[in-house]
A and B are shown apart, each in its own frame.
Chain A
Amino acid sequence: GENVEQHPSTLSVQEGDSAVIKCTYSDSASNYFPWYKQELGKRPQLIIDIRSNVGEKKDQRIAVTLNKTAKHFSLHITETQPEDSAVYFCAARGYNFNKFYFGSGTKLNVKP
């Protein structure tokens, strides 16, 4: 099955700096890659996603890039704000198009 690895596990940045979280996947048949933000004590919420026919997608301060050849995708947050502090999860939809495989999460701390 699919294996998704996520790095780093923790990331601390100064307010206004950029943050980058990276994920790799193993199954070349995976074709859909969502990113979730989970605030403390709350449910994971979708913040951005990308499909395998697209190399990059941007939504205001958030962008995701996908390199299918290398089988990795990244989340980029620019001009970070304290409210960006949360745990971020990457995911890949597996070969059977039903299961999602999640990374282990990155705890982002934005210092004011």
Chain B
Amino acid sequence: NAGVTQTPKFQVLKTGQSMTLQCAQDMNHNSMYWYRQDPGMGLRLIYYSASEGTTDKGEVPNGYNVSRLNKREFSLRLESAAPSQTSVYFCGSSYSNQPQHFGDGTRLSIL
């Protein structure tokens, strides 16, 4: 039982490049989330998906897009990466009235 799996674990991009962060969960959770965590800071919600086929903006959605590919997978795309998007990205998932579980994070640096 892997829980929440994020790929890649590390990535370095140049300004203007695009990339997609992948997240998959095997716990049959209906809700999935993308957060960013800047050094010494808390978790800020980028986008979330309450169920398959729906997505909603969080606190800091600008510069990002998401796709809920199916119940298991929720991807985050940076279309044109900027240095301000350098951060650690965490994917989370939860079911109904249960706690949220997190992946190990993707450490993204944009030069």
A interface residues, Cβ below 8 angstroms from B: 31-32, 34, 42-46, 49, 51, 89, 91, 93, 96-100, 102-105
Contacts and interface: CB of A to CB of B under 8 A. Distances in A.
A51 B100 CA distance: 14
A98 B97 contact: no
- The listed residue with most A CB atoms (<10 A of its CB), out of B31, B41, B92, B94, is B94
Interface string B68-111: 00000000000000000000001010101101111111000000
B48 interface: yes
Contacts of B42: 89, 102-105
A10 B102 CA distance: 23
Given A102-B43, A105-B42, A49 B105 contact: no
B58 interface: yes
Contact of A32 (B33, B48, B97, B101): B97
Given A97-B96, A105-B41, 15 more contacts: A43-B102, A43-B104, A43-B105, A44-B43, A45-B102, A46-B100, A89-B42, A91-B100, A96-B50, A97-B97, A99-B48, A100-B33, A100-B45, A102-B43, A104-B42
Interface string B34-45: 000000011101
B103 A43 contact: yes
